[in-house]
Structure 1
Amino acid sequence: MWKRTVMILLSYLILFGMWFVIEPVTVNACSCAELPSIEEQLERKTAIFTGKILSVTKPVQGKIWSSADPVKVLFEVKTVWKGELGSQTTVHTALSSKSCGYEGFEVNKEYVVFAYGDPDRLETGRCEGNKTLASAQEELKALGAGYEPSKIIPQEIPLEVSSINMEADNGYITIVFVSVIILTTFILLIIFLRVRRR
């Protein structure tokens, strides 16, 4: 009888432990067609501009997350070729290139950005032609002279750069896992001692 109880408890313990160990499977689903010409970009995109990144706000990854989770990138806009942009604008992209997100954005670097979507929620991605300013000389030449952004700063208060705090998450998971192991061991010990007394 006690052997059966021990086996059931060990099975639950193994299943519970696997919940924290198994990594999510990633699927590579993004493929880009040939990049359109600058003329086509000017026609299709909602906004085209150069800007310096002030902050990158990533979602906090918990047990359930997606490569398509949104990342907010706040730019200090320098030059505009299309769109009515203020001196700061936010562009959204997916967390991972697997969901066609643009992973190359870094704080304090300047980029040429090609964004689509609603003017109040600009989006961009891996397949849109974004480049660092230093590597976009051909694009800048083809775009020609741009114009300055308006001096209005959006009312939205930019969030500070947030990173994925996996260390704190892992610490919590470790504490829970160790607690369950100790509790299970204690229960098994009590069962074992009771069976031996009989």
Structure 2
Amino acid sequence: MRKLAIIFSLMIIIWSIPLEKKVRACSCVELPPVSVAKEEADAVFLGTIRDIVDEDTQRIVTINVREAWKGVETETIKVYTGFNSGDCGLPIEIGGSYLFYANDFSEGEEPGFLTSTICTRTTTEMNAANDLKELGEGKKEFIQSEPSSSSNNYNVWLFPSIGGVIVVLFILSWIIRKKRN
């Protein structure tokens, strides 16, 4: 019986591993020059925030893109950030215009998991005059489409994990009944 309890515990731990969320700590260094920041970023664009959704440990920001210098093909894009400076989240507001320097952290998930933090050169359009001057003219025509959302990809493991636990419980109860008889 003790062996079964140990096996059952290990199985629950193994099945719950995919539910683990990724966490990144905030540690900023001096911001790089515009040319370096553009080179290091996966996407650089100017846009107006259309919507902000707070979800678990992140904010999902939907942005209407007005001009892009790198990595943006659609007129609407989503960027993920934290809630505040403690978790490196951007201090943003719906309706605000910002110059974003974003990085793709898809890590094998759906492509386009763009993130931006206070550790990037992302700033309000009003504070981005020097960056915009150095970047020059960007692309202003985009494909009309809704942004993809790779938020909560860990949920794809939820139902299989629950199903696995139910199967294990069923097998354990069957074994215990069999031993009693």
TM-score (norm 2): 0.61
Match of 1:100 among 54, 75, 88: 88
**1:43-122 matched pairs, under 5 angstroms:** 43-59=39-55, 69-102=57-90, 104-117=91-104, 118=106, 120-122=112-114
Give the structure 1 partner of residue 146 of structure 2.
154
2:35 maps to a residue whose letter is: E
Shift of 1:31: 3.5
CA RMSD of aligned residues (A): 1.8
Distance 1:143 1:58, change over 3 A: same
Matched residues in 2 for 1:57 and 1:88: separation? 15
CA distance in 1, matches of 2:136, 2:148: 31
Q: How far off its partner does 1:153 sit? A: 1.2
2:18 maps to none
Are 1:34 and 2:30 an aligned pair? yes
Deviations for 1:64-94, whole angstroms, at most 9, x for unmatched residues? xxxxx11100000000011133000000001
Once the two structures are aligned, what percentage of the paired residues are identical?
A: 29
What is the TM-score normalised by the length of structure 1?
0.56
Structure 2 unmatched runs, 5+: 1-24, 150-181
- The 4+ residue runs of structure 1 with deviation greater than 2 A are 154-157
1:130 aligns with 2:122: yes
Distance 1:135 1:87 in 2: 23
Q: Which amino acid is 1:40 matched to? A: V
Shift of residue 145, structure 1, vs aligned partner? 1.0
How far off is 1:152 after superposition? 2.3
Q: Residue 58 of structure 1 aligns to a residue in which SS?
A: strand
Deviation (angstroms), 1:151: 2.4
Q: Structure 1 residues 155 and 115, CA, compared in 2 at 3 Å: closer, same or farther?
A: closer
Query: Which whole-Å CA distance do the structure 2 matches of 1:36 and 1:156 have between them?
Result: 29
* Kept after mapping to 2: 8 A contact 1:77/1:149: no
Change (3 A) 1:91 1:139: same
Q: CA deviation digits over 1:157-184, x for unaligned, max 9? A: 8xxxxxxxxxxxxxxxxxxxxxxxxxxx
Larger-gyration structure (1/2) = 1
Alpha-carbon shift at residue 124 of structure 1 (Å)? 0.5
Counterpart Cα distance in 2 of 1:89 and 1:156:
8
